[in-house]
Each structure stands twice: as C-alpha cells, then as structure tokens.
Amino acid sequence: MLGTVHVASEDAFESIDAMAAAAGFVGLPSDGGIVILNAVGEIMAASAGAQDILGLSLAQLRGRTSQDPRWAVVDELGQLVEGAHAPAAIALRTRTAVRGRILGVHRPRSDPAGYYAWVHVDAVPLVHASGPAPWAVVIAVRPVRGEQRQALELRASERLFRMIAEHSSDMVAWQLLPDTTFLWVSPAARTVLGVDPDFIIGTACIGLVHPDDRAGLAKSWCAAADVPPKPTVRMQHADGSYRWVEITAHVLPHLNRKPQQMITAYRDVSDRVIAERARDAAVRSFELAMSSSTIGVAWPRRNGTLGRVNPALSRILGRSVDELLGHSLREFAADDDWGLDDPLVIVQTESLGYHESERRFVRPDGTEVWCQYTVIGLRDESDAITNCLLQLQDITAQKTATAQLEQLAVTDPLTGLPNRTVLGDRLTRALDEARNTGTSVGVLFIDLDRFKDVNDTLGHDAGDGLLCEVGIRLTTVVRHTDTVVRLGGDEFVVVREQLSSATELDDLADRINDIFAAPFVINGNPLRVYASIGRVAAGGTFTADQLLSEADEAMYRAKRSGRPR
C-alpha cells in the first residue's frame, strides 16, 4: 500500500534512529525530531529534538495518544484538530503515510495563551511483512521557518485578537490618530453605546464624547501617546443619555515616531462612577459634619489608642490633635477606676454594640470637664464588631446647672446655710442613730430679738446683711459635724448629734450667746442684736417634727422670760 513500510521483524529496530531510517526519515534537520507510537497510538519514544519542539519531556509524552484531550493542536486555518484526524491516527487507520501536514501545537509549559509552535508533520506506519496492521508509526516533526511561519503566526494572532474582541463585554476598537476615527468596532458597541458597530465606523470618537470632557480626553491622549492613561469620560448612548466610559488605549507600533493608530477598549463604568460619586459625596458630608460638629468624635485602633479625631474633641479636652493621637481617652480621664469599666473594652469584648455613660476628663490646666461618653460598635457583614466610634459631648454646663439647682433645693439663698429641707433630713437621720445607739440629739432654736426694728429703720438690705453675718458667726462656734440651718425670717436652728451630756448643749448655747456680745457692723452702722434660744435634748423616741416643735416652744419661753436663753 502506498506509503507503507513493510518490515520482516520488530526485533531489527533497537533505536529511534533505526526506526526513523526504516520510515525513510534520513537527513532530518538538526532542529527536527522523531516520535514513535505503538500499534494502539501510544507514544513509546521521542527524540530530544521532538521533546523540545513539543515542549514536553519524554516522561510526559510516554503513553499519550492522539485522542488525549490535553493536546491543543490546530490546522493552518486555526481549526482544532481532533484526535481521530491527527496524522498518527490516520496513518494507523489507513496504513498510509501522511505527509506535509502543517499543524500548530500549543506548548503548555512555555507558550502564552493563544500562541502555537508551527511544525511540519509526516507520519509513516510500519507494517509486518506477514500482517496487515501497522505495529508502529514513525512521526517526523520540524519547525516551520521564514515567511511561512510569520504568516501563520500573524493569522493566529489576528484570530486570537478577533475572538477576544468580539466576545469581550468591552467595546474594542481600532482607531486612527490623531482624529480618533473608528476603523473597526467590536459587537459590544451595542451594549456599551447602544449602536451597531457599522453605525460609528468612519466617525470620530471625540464626537461621541460629552463636550465638557473632550478637551481633557484629547489632552490625555496627546500628552502620553505611547502609553496613554485610562481616562473616564461621558459618551453619548443611542438613547440620548450619557454613560460614564473608561477608555484603555494601546498605540500600535509606528514609523517616524509619529503615532498613527491605536487599539482601544471602552468599558461602561457608569454604575461604578455613580457609586464612587455617591461615596465621595457621603465622605464630604461626613467630613463637613465631623469638622463642624460640636460633639467630639474619634476612631480608636484595636488597642484603644486614638487613630483619628475631629476638632471638637480637641476643643473639649483642651489638647491639640497631635496630643490626642496615639493616646487612649482613659489617659485624660479624671477617674482612676476605669479598668474593666472602660466603655470601649465593654463594647469590644461583649459585642453590646452601644454603651453610654457620664465621665470626667481633665484638661491640661487642671480643670475638669464632664462628658456624655458614647461608644458605638461598627459591625461588618458578618455582624461582628470590627471597630468603634467614640463620641464625647461636653455636658459640664448642664452638670453645673443641675448641681446649682440641687444646691438651691437644700440651701438658703440668702445666707448659703442649709435650709428647712436639710434640717428635716438631718434630724430624722440623727434620731434614727440615737435610737440605735441610745444617745441623744440636741436642738437649739434661735430667734433674733427686735430684728423687725432693723428692717424698719435701716431697710431690708441691712436686715439681709445682718442675717448673713449671724450665719457666719454661728458656723464659727459649732463643730464640723453640727448642722446650722436658717429656717426663714430671723430664725436659725443648730443640731448636735450624739450628745454626751445635757451640759454639752448648755455650753454650745453659751458660745452662741457670746457671738452676739460684739456689735454687728452693717453698711458702716454698728448694730447690737441679741437672740432668744430654745434648747431641747431628746432621744430616739421623738420624731423630727416633735423635736423641732419642742425647741420652738422652748425659744418662745426664753423670749417671754426676757432671758438670753
């Protein structure tokens, strides 16, 4: 049969060269190679040249057949060559030599995607003289050289480019420079711009660009013609709207250093640009809110130190931004007992997500500032707290106002002494203590004599001044555990707890009488004022009202008798 080599015995062939010679492959070029297949089409041996051409070692080649799906072989037109139509398979099946085939083989270890090594392939079957079926096939391969190889590679490159361009979701185009005329446009033009490719071929790209973006696009391409940037511009869609499009350009090799053509890819990034603009607007709004907010805001790192702060926090704590960064808020706190009570630690470790408390902080000048301290846990997609937001609101004024109101509620506004509310509370507690300890409570009820005359002759301002001076003198003769109260008008009460004896209360009354011995100087006028003092000592069987009523009656008895006490 034509092209078939008949041999007497397989034993006559001990080497690849011998089998190649039997098949008629004598004088192969140095860059050629031989591959030997057995009767079922499996590779048994391959020369070093064949291994180099195919890009596989003998270990990788041995046992493979033409039907192996790992082969990537194409013909001159770029069509995939199936295993049954490979030269070796045809030679085995037809017992006929296959000569002059040109195939492209993709070498997986060394060739980039879409690249093929082009080779001439001849396949000759070896047949027993006594049998009809081939027992081996000898394949000779040698590289395609010269212009033929260049032509094959160019066509393959064109096919690859066209395949990628026509199946890309980006609109791929071939354009002239510098006027940007479209010479070829991929089908994705329908998706990106809503137009048929033929509709824009022959027109200038710049005409589809929004007027406000044209100058910037032309400038970007001219400024770096060889490696242009990736401008994002608005291009007109067939529906009349403008889409944000990112353009990637590659200038083709050119003569005389003057760019003439380029390959471009147009990608619709409208969603991305809109999202980025919304994000940027949100960031700007947030930054504006941060910078103008009266509430201090900070982002801590995982270790609790501040990574970012706003101006309000700096003002509240009286420290510069640099003095705050890298430090934790607890370093500026007036409390020294944060420990496990640190709100940031609580939110981070217990995943509560929110914690609010009132804390005192100390400014560099030593003044304290009360703050509403809020920690907000920031969660990721899995609902885990990955960061926190800290807020400090200065509530010092509110705290001061509240304290003043609380003080006014228990203080006589004229003298600054405790008022009737405090008296009732102190007496009740003192009597409870007396009940428990078996001691007594002493009460002195003091009323200024002829105080009305002072008001009538010198005026109410003088009377108020006198009351204040009496309050001051009273506080100088009592113990720090005693309570001095102004009931109202010209009446004062002194409470002494845990009396040791009745004489102790008498001694206190004597000292109080002594403060009236010296005249009071009010607005330059010396005034001699005396007081009537009623005294009562009682145990825990009395109530506060009963004890105060007894002291009041004792004072009136003293006033009627004309005695100083």
For residues 194 and 189, give the distance between their C-alpha atoms in angstroms, rounded to a whole number: 6
Q: What does R_g of the chain's alpha carbons equal in angstroms?
A: 53
What distance in Å separates the CA atoms of residue 270 and residue 367, rounded to the nearest whole number?
54
Domain boundaries, the chain: 16-162, 168-273, 296-398, 411-561
- Distances in whole angstroms, Cα of residue 10 to Cα of each of 63, 92, 125, 537: 19, 16, 13, 138
5: helix, strand or coil: strand
Note the CATH number of domain 296-398: 3.30.450.20
Cα(293)–Cα(271) distance, integer angstroms:
32
Distance CA 47, CA 39 (A): 19
User: Which residues pair with residue 36 across a beta bridge?
Assistant: 45, 138
| Across 24-38, 185-199, 241-255, 333-347, least confident range | 333-347
Residue 175 and residue 189: Cα distance in Å, rounded? 14
- Hey, do 296-398 and 411-561 end up sharing a CATH topology, with the first three levels equal? no
Distance of CA 183 to the CA centre of its chain: 46
Across the strands, what pairs with 251? 262
* pLDDT band, residue 495 (cuts 50/70/90): very high
Residue, of 540 and 291, whose pLDDT is higher: 291
Q: State pLDDT tens for residues 309-368.
A: 999 999 999 999 999 999 999 899 987 656 556 777 777 666 678 888 899 999 999 999
Identify the pLDDT of residue 565.
46
DSSP string, 371-440: EEEEEEEEE-TTS-EEEEEEEEEE-HHHHHHHHHHHHHHHB-TTT--B-HHHHHHHHHHHHHHHHHHT-E
- List, for residues 101-146, the tens digit of each pLDDT value: 999 888 766 667 667 889 999 999 998 766 677 889 999 999 999 9
> Mean pLDDT across the stretch 407-433?
91
Which tokens go with 92?
Answer: 């085995």
Q: Which of 23, 35, 38, 39 is nearest to 60 (CA)?
A: 35
State both tokens at 148: 């033929």
For the chain, the average pLDDT equals 86
Q: Determine if the peptide bond prior to 311 is cis (ω within 30°).
A: no
CATH number for the segment(s) 168-273: 3.30.450.20
In the predicted structure, residue 2 carries a pLDDT above the cut 50: no
5 has a pLDDT exceeding 60: no
**What tens digit of pLDDT does each residue of 427-460 get?**
999 999 998 888 899 999 999 998 988 888 889 9
CB 192 within 8 A of CB 270: no
Query: Which of 197, 312, 323, 316 lies closest to 266, judged by CA?
Result: 197
Taking CA atoms, 402 is separated from 398, 405, 546, in Å, by 6, 5, 33
What percent of the chain stands above pLDDT 70? 90
pLDDT tens-place string over residues 456-493: 888 999 999 999 999 999 999 999 999 999 999 999 99
Q: Does domain 16-162 have CATH number 3.30.450.20?
A: yes
pLDDT of residue 14: 65
Q: Does residue 226 register a pLDDT over 60?
A: no
> Residue 131 burial by CB count (10 A; 0-12/13-18/19+): exposed, middle or buried?
exposed
Token pair 């929004």 is found at: 210
- Percent of the residues in the chain that have a pLDDT greater than 90, as a whole number: 49
Mean pLDDT of 190-205: 93
Question: DSSP letters of 76-118?
Answer: TTS-B--GGGSHHHHHHHHS--EEEEEEEE--TTTPPTT--EE
Average pLDDT over residues 493-516: 92
CA–CA gap between residue 118 and residue 120 (Å, rounded): 7
Across 432-530, the runs of DSSP E, i.e. the strands, are 440-448, 483-488, 491-499, 520-522, 525-527
Residue pair 544/443 in contact (Cβ under 8 Å)? The answer is no
CATH architecture, domain defined by 411-561: 2-Layer Sandwich (3.30)
List residues bridging with 143 in a β-sheet: 119
Cα separation, 383 vs 237, in Å, equals 41
Confidence band of 177 (pLDDT split at 50, 70, 90): confident
pLDDT at 71: 73
In degrees rounded to 5, what are phi and psi of residue 373? -100, 115
Using DSSP's 3-state secondary structure scheme, residue 7 falls into strand
Confidence class for position 199, pLDDT limits 50, 70, 90: very high
Tell me how far the alpha carbon of residue 166 is from its chain's centroid. 40
**264, 188 Cβ separation under 8 angstroms:** no
- Interatomic CA distance for residues 270 and 232, integer angstroms: 10
Contact assessment for residue 391 and residue 373, using Cβ atoms and an 8 Å cutoff: yes
